[in-house]
């Protein structure tokens, strides 16, 4: 069971991001604060009453807040399209507009993974997917985001079936990328996949520059106090490590260094006061928009995307003292590669004529059975990522990717491989970035 300290640490660290996500769903400032508080209290109650349903608390909180926000969001499109508090910054407006042009789920995936830098598992919990499915959604969304922001045509991969999730992980670097040596080697030798990884990297870097609109200071403190008293009332306290006194002074000691650093940044920006724009401790400037001061925290380092060295244009004249330089320059010449084909310029929504289905045959058998997987009602042209999840741990024991045909159908095979050979029900998950489905294969051992 989660302790009060664990839940409160998550709430403190992510309160401003949840607030930002809620505002971008169209909640006005007052409604957004209410949604943040209510969803945080719901998290506390769920952690106390039915902890088995919580799983990843951060992902759970975002999911709850987004659901609440959708139910109360009015028609305040002030923030979603970059108006209001962000209107002074052309680049923020362009980022917001590009995000707004994507389907809601893609937008959420990009915000959570790239702008807020949540772990893939938390993104998955928030979207109702596992980490693998979430990364696949993020990968496809990045590829759609780039042309929405910079113009040009979407990257289309046609040489072979591509596991966009695996390429997305490569673009993020780190341990997950290093572990997947097979994909890394392939990317080094495949121009098409190399382009996909480059595009993912670029999208992630751009999205990391999104300004996060923080809770107003006064409401933030009062809200955290109320959530804390609720958590202390219903959740167990953490076991003191050495002495209670020391523990109370340093409650963050149990958490990772990065969380501590993040908390520090948030604490610093909260201390600066309302109406400040700060950049990861790099200074601040007053920001008043529409007569309403808003505390703004951004997770972005200084970012310049000029394609060649040297300035490509004068800095924005209206914000000469801005500590952040955020320059988005469209690529002058999108060089076509042999594997890139031109897609229709208009983003037509997928026309699904059949209900979404995922069928497997056979549906039971011994470990390593070759299973035929048929899908209908999927997004035409999209790549479906399939995974056979291990009985223990839920990691993919085997995976496959297949492209959906023009009728929204696909057929492929997947090996029912569990590394421990455990019998019993195993999940087969599938996702194309828009849709997802799960089937159950019963391993007979």
Per-residue binding string, Zn ion, 140-179, x by CB under 5 A, is ----------------------------------------
Per the DSSP assignment, residues forming a β-bridge with 437 are 430
Q: Nearest distance from residue 190's CB to Zn ion, in Å?
A: 3
Q: Pick the piece of the chain touching Zn ion (CB under 5 A) from 188-196, 214-222, 241-249, 326-334.
A: 188-196
d(CA 7, CA 49): 14
Residue from 33, 190, 296, 416 touching Zn ion (CB under 5 A): that is 190
Q: With CB under 5 A, what is the number of residues at the site for Zn ion?
A: 3
Per-residue binding string, Zn ion, 89-108, x by CB under 5 A, is --------------------
Q: Nearest distance from residue 154's CB to Zn ion, in Å?
A: 17
Name which of 40 and 197 has its Cβ closer to Zn ion.
Answer: 197
Q: Nearest distance from residue 196's CB to Zn ion, in Å?
A: 8
Q: Pick the piece of the chain touching Zn ion (CB under 5 A) from 39-47, 57-65, 163-171, 183-191.
A: 183-191
Name which of 181 and 242 has its Cβ closer to Zn ion.
Answer: 181
Q: Pick the piece of the chain touching Zn ion (CB under 5 A) from 49-57, 187-195, 229-237, 271-279.
A: 187-195
Name which of 265 and 401 has its Cβ closer to Zn ion.
Answer: 401
**Which residue matches tokens 């963050």?**
252
Query: What is the per-residue DSSP string for 87-106?
Result: TT-HHHHHHHHHHHTS-HHH
Per the DSSP assignment, residues forming a β-bridge with 436 are 431
Contact between 193 and Zn ion per CB under 5 A = yes
Q: Nearest distance from residue 161's CB to Zn ion, in Å?
A: 9
Name which of 82 and 192 has its Cβ closer to Zn ion.
Answer: 192
Name which of 192 and 209 has its Cβ closer to Zn ion.
Answer: 192
Q: Nearest distance from residue 220's CB to Zn ion, in Å?
A: 47
Q: Which residues contact 76 (CB under 8 A, 6 or more apart)?
A: 26, 27, 28
Name which of 161 and 259 has its Cβ closer to Zn ion.
Answer: 161
Q: Nearest distance from residue 108's CB to Zn ion, in Å?
A: 28
d(CA 63, CA 127): 7
Q: Nearest distance from residue 268's CB to Zn ion, in Å?
A: 44
Name which of 337 and 440 has its Cβ closer to Zn ion.
Answer: 337
Helices 120-127 and 57-72 sit at what angle, rounded to 10 degrees? 40
Tokens of 388: 């056979």
Nearest to Zn ion by Cβ — which residue? 190
Residue 113 DSSP symbol: I
Instruction: Yes or no: say if 212 and 301 are a contact pair by the CB < 8 Å rule.
Output: no
Q: Pick the piece of the chain touching Zn ion (CB under 5 A) from 15-23, 51-59, 191-199, 414-422.
A: 191-199
Name which of 186 and 280 has its Cβ closer to Zn ion.
Answer: 186
Name which of 5 and 172 has its Cβ closer to Zn ion.
Answer: 172
Per-residue binding string, Zn ion, 300-339, x by CB under 5 A, is ----------------------------------------
Select from 28, 167, 24 the least CA-distant residue to 104: 24
Name which of 125 and 136 has its Cβ closer to Zn ion.
Answer: 136
CB under 8 Å, gap of 24 or more: what pairs does 248-256 form?
Answer: 251/5, 251/8, 251/9, 252/9, 254/5, 254/6, 255/9
b/e per residue 230-255 (b: at least 16 CB within 10 A): bbeeebeebeeeeeeeebeeebbebb
d(CA 110, CA 101): 13
Instruction: Yes or no: say if 138 and 148 are a contact pair by the CB < 8 Å rule.
Output: no
Tokens of 432: 């194309």
Q: Nearest distance from residue 201's CB to Zn ion, in Å?
A: 16
Select from 206, 208, 182, 183 the least CA-distant residue to 196: 183
Select from 273, 174, 175, 160 the least CA-distant residue to 216: 273
Q: Nearest distance from residue 193's CB to Zn ion, in Å?
A: 3
Q: Nearest distance from residue 399's CB to Zn ion, in Å?
A: 15
- Where does this chain bind Zn ion (CB under 5 A)? 190, 192-193
């Amino acid at each position: 069971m989660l302790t009060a300290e664990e839940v409160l640490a998550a709430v403190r660290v992510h309160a401003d991001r949840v607030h930002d996500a809620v505002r971008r769903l169209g909640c006005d400032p007052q409604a957004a604060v209410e949604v943040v508080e209510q969803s945080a209290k719901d998290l506390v109650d769920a952690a106390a009453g039915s902890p088995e349903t919580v799983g990843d608390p951060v992902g759970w909180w975002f999911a709850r807040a987004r659901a609440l926000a959708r139910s109360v969001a009015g028609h305040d499109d002030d923030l979603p399209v970059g108006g209001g508090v962000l209107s002074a910054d052309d680049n923020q407006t362009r980022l917001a507009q590009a995000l707004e042009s994507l389907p809601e789920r893609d937008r959420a995936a990009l915000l959570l993974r790239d702008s807020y830098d949540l772990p893939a598992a938390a993104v998955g919990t928030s979207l109702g997917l596992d980490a693998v499915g979430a990364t696949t959604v993020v990968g496809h969304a990045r590829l759609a985001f780039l042309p929405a922001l910079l113009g040009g045509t979407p990257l289309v991969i046609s040489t072979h079936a591509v596991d966009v999730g695996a390429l997305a992980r490569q673009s993020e670097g780190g341990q997950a990328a290093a572990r997947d040596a097979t994909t890394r080697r392939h990317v080094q030798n495949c121009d098409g996949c190399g382009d996909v990884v480059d595009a993912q990297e670029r999208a992630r870097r751009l999205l990391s520059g999104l300004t996060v609109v923080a809770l107003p200071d006064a409401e933030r403190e009062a809200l955290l106090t109320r959530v804390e008293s609720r958590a202390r009332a219903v959740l167990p306290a953490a076991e003191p490590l050495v002495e209670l006194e020391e523990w109370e002074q340093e409650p963050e000691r149990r958490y990772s260094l990065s969380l501590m650093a993040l908390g520090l940044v948030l604490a610093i920006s909260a201390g600066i006061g309302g109406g400040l724009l700060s950049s990861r401790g790099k200074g601040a400037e007053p920001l008043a928009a529409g007569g309403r001061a808003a505390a703004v925290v951004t997770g972005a380092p200084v970012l310049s995307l000029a394609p060649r060295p040297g300035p490509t244009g004068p800095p924005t004249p209206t914000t000469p003292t801005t500590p952040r330089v955020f320059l988005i320059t469209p690529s002058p010449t999108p060089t076509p590669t042999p594997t890139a084909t031109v897609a229709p310029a208009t983003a037509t929504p997928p026309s699904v004529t059949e209900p979404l289905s995922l069928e497997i045959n056979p549906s039971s058998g011994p470990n390593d059975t070759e299973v035929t997987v048929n899908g209908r009602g999927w997004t035409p042209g999209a790549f479906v990522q399939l995974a056979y999840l291990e009985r223990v741990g839920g990691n993919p024991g085997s995976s496959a990717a297949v492209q959906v045909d023009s009728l929204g159908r696909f057929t492929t095979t997947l090996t029912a491989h569990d590394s421990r050979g455990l019998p019993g029900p195993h999940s087969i998950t599938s996702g194309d970035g828009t849709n997802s489905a799960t089937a159950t294969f019963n391993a007979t051992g």
